[in-house]
């Protein structure tokens, strides 16, 4: 089945530690996105990539980094500079023909130990 | 910058009844897209319905329909014949037509819909 796979489902970070969230898609979509979801807030865009080896900052990129070495993969690293990383992280993909239709993964819940 | 406001944090509807979720947005643009996304307990977001701003006709998808009032910048979602499976968080979202091929969406804070027997 085509879709977006996020792993792990739950992740715990220690103080000062970098952690990486995985996002893989087999939909052959060019664009991929990372959103952060906090309780009582909507989704906020962290980073997005429209093509391999290129990505742009979203609204809340500070403390995060990404890479796009393959079309299928768009990992997100939460660095130690992100002081409030506890949140639910959603990865998504899209194609231009479906203006605004995002295909989402099932998310990763990140918590701080 | 565009903003999306959902003023109803929670709503409740009885099974088989109709419920309307409200959304307002602020933009200076004339061409854009609006969406309603559903987030069930599984937390995987699903597109419910989409509206292009240049279309006057309100979008419908089976039991889901919208009331798009461009001048008032209002975009409400009506769910008819509500079912237990409709219980979820519903997010209103905005996409500028100027973002090229990237689907950068601005989301509201969501409305939690409960469906009771």
B42 contacts in chain A (CB < 8 Å): 106
Rounded to the nearest angstrom, the minimum Cα separation between B3 and chain A is 11
> Do the bridges between strand B10-14 and strand B111-116 make them parallel or antiparallel, or are there none, so unpaired?
parallel
Given a contact cutoff of 8 angstroms between Cβ atoms, the answer to whether B77 and B49 are in contact is: yes
Per-residue pLDDT of B3-33, as tens digits, reads 999 999 999 999 999 999 999 999 999 999 9
Interface of A with B in 58-87 (CB under 8 A): 58
pLDDT tens for B51-63 read 999 998 999 999 9
DSSP letter at A100 equals T
Cβ distance of B91 and A42 shorter than 8 Å: yes
Contact state of B47 with A96 under an 8 Å Cβ cutoff: no
Provide the mean pLDDT of chain A: 93
Distance from CA of B91 to the nearest CA of A (A): 7
């Amino acid at each position: 089945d085509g879709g977006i796979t996020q792993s792990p489902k739950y992740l715990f970070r220690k103080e000062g530690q970098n952690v990486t969230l995985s996002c893989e898609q087999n939909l052959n979509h060019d664009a991929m996105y990372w959103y952060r979801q906090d309780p009582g807030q909507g989704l906020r865009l962290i980073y997005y990539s429209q093509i391999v080896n290129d990505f742009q900052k979203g609204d809340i990129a500070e403390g995060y980094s990404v890479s796009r070495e393959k079309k299928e993969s768009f990992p997100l690293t939460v660095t130690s500079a992100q002081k409030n990383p506890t949140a639910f992280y959603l990865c998504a993909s899209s194609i231009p023909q479906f203006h605004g239709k995002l295909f989402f993964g099932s998310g990763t819940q990140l918590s701080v130990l | 910058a565009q903003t999306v406001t959902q003023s109803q944090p929670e709503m409740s509807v009885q099974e088989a009844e109709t419920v309307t979720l409200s959304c307002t947005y602020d933009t200076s643009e004339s061409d854009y897209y609006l969406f309603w996304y559903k987030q069930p307990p599984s937390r995987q977001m699903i597109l419910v319905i989409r509206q292009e701003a240049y279309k006057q006709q309100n979008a419908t998808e089976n039991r889901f329909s919208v009331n798009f009032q461009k001048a008032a910048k209002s975009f409400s979602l009506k769910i008819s014949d509500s079912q237990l499976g409709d219980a979820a968080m519903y997010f209103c979202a905005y996409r500028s037509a100027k973002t090229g091929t990237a689907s950068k969406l601005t989301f509201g804070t969501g409305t939690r819909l409960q469906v009771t027997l």
